[in-house]
Amino acid sequence: MNKLIKPIKKALAKKYGYKNVSVKNGKGTAWGWVEASIKIDEPKDRDEAYRIRKEAEEIARETLKKEGLKFYTYCSDDGYGSDRECFLLDLNY
């Protein structure tokens, strides 16, 4: 099991409620990915949805930092060679 799942689930559940948060591994070759889903009330507008998403992402990052962990990264094939975090976050309402 991906060691990043449990601390992220615990931190996001503290903010959004245990039953409202799902955190799991990616599937197949994306096993290192962390996929999180948070059920929230429908945001008033796109700005509120953006703020909630950024807040949840920051909670996940700070939690891993405190645990001495970090998201896996991969080198993209977009021509820029940049590393990107393997973290997907969906908001459901």
Residues 18-36 have pLDDT tens digits of 999 999 987 766 667 889 9
What percent of the chain has a predicted confidence (pLDDT) above 70? 83
User: Averaged over 56-84, what is the pLDDT?
Assistant: 79
Question: Which pLDDT band holds residue 71 (cuts at 50, 70, 90)?
Answer: confident
Distance, in Å, from the CA atom of 31 to the CA atom of 7, rounded to the nearest integer, reads 17
Q: pTM (2 decimals)?
A: 0.84
Residue 45 has a CB neighbour count (10 Å cut-off) of: 8
Query: Mean pLDDT over all residues of the chain?
Result: 87
Cβ(91)–Cβ(49) under 8 Å? yes
